């Protein structure tokens, strides 16, 4: 009786196709994040495929619609945000240092680039759950800075969220773009430190902010 021998060519081909599919998926997600950040949610899917260097068929085999792609990007952004928050909370030093590190990381990853999508697509349950966890972590990070006196007490977590959204849409096509973004973010973040300047307007709330997404 003969012993079956694995078909190495077949196995290698399968693994090769899987590796290529995963690589293409990462290219599509990175391109989609950049395109939507720069052009808004009306950007054509063809622009994403072109920037990723893949065909339209490759894109649609992974994501059946533009809505599915956007939902996937929102879920990834929430995951990236939570990971950045945990890392910031683990940092030694002042609460402001952790908060600024968190801001830099989130803006570089453009996690707030999808704010213009608010109210335009259904929000999957896993995004809602991930957002709830991220909110708790952000409140903890802000409280740490306010407790040690390194962050002003009239700043709210929603302010931090909106600051990330504002800078996530900043162009990043050239090194000059990146340097300018980093400089402007540092200037804006410095306003989170205690100062004698009062902040105009009523305090923001999560309820008002989230009403845009879940309407």
* pLDDT greater at residue 14 or residue 1: 14
Same domain, 38 and 83: no
Same domain, 125 and 144: yes
If one counts the domains in the chain, the total is 2
> In CATH, what number is assigned to the domain containing residue 12?
1.10.10
Residues 188, 193, 196, 197, Cα dihedral to 10°: 20
pLDDT-derived band at 163 (thresholds 50, 70, 90) equals: very high
Same domain, 52 and 99: no
Same domain, 33 and 80: no
Domain carrying residue 107: 70-214
Contact 152, 195 (CB under 8 A): yes
What does the DSSP 8-state code read for residue 151? S
Read off the pLDDT of residues 9-35 as tens digits, 9 standing for 90 and up: 454 566 677 778 788 888 888 888 888
So what's the pLDDT on residue 97?
A: 94
pLDDT-derived band at 209 (thresholds 50, 70, 90) equals: confident
Same domain, 140 and 199: yes
Question: What is the distance between the alpha carbons of residues 104 and 115, in angstroms, rounded to a whole number?
Answer: 18
Domain boundary among 64, 92, 109: 64
So what's the pLDDT on residue 120?
A: 74
Same domain, 108 and 207: yes
Average pLDDT, the chain: 85
> In terms of pTM, does the model score above 0.85?
no
Same domain, 79 and 173: yes
Residue 64 has pLDDT above 80, yes or no: yes
Rounded to an integer, the average pLDDT of 51-67 is 87
So what's the pLDDT on residue 18?
A: 74
> In CATH, what number is assigned to the domain containing residue 181?
1.10.357.10
Same domain, 43 and 128: no
Among 79, 128, 130, 133, smallest CA distance to 106 is for 79
């Amino acid at each position: 009786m003969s012993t079956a021998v694995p078909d190495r060519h077949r196995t290698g081909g399968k693994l090769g196709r899987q590796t290529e599919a995963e690589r293409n998926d990462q290219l599509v997600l990175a391109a989609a994040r950049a395109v939507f950040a720069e052009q808004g949610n009306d950007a054509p899917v063809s622009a994403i495929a072109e920037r990723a260097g893949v065909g339209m068929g490759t894109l649609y085999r992974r994501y059946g619609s533009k809505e599915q792609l956007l939902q996937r990007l929102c879920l990834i952004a929430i995951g990236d945000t939570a990971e950045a928050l945990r890392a910031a909370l683990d940092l030694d030093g002042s609460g402001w240092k952790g908060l600024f590190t968190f801001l830099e990381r989130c803006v570089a990853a453009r996690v707030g680039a999808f704010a213009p999508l608010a109210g335009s697509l259904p929000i999957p349950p896993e995004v809602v759950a991930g957002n709830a966890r991220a909110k708790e972590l952000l409140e903890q990070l802000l409280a740490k800075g306010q407790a040690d006196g390194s962050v002003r007490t009239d700043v709210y977590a929603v302010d931090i969220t909106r600051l990330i959204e504002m800078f996530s849409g900043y162009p990043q096509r050239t090194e000059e773009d990146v340097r300018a973004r980093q400089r402007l973010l540092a200037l804006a973040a410095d306003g989170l430190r205690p100062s004698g300047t009062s902040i105009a307007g009523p305090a923001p709330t999560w309820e008002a902010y989230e009403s845009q997404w879940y309407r």
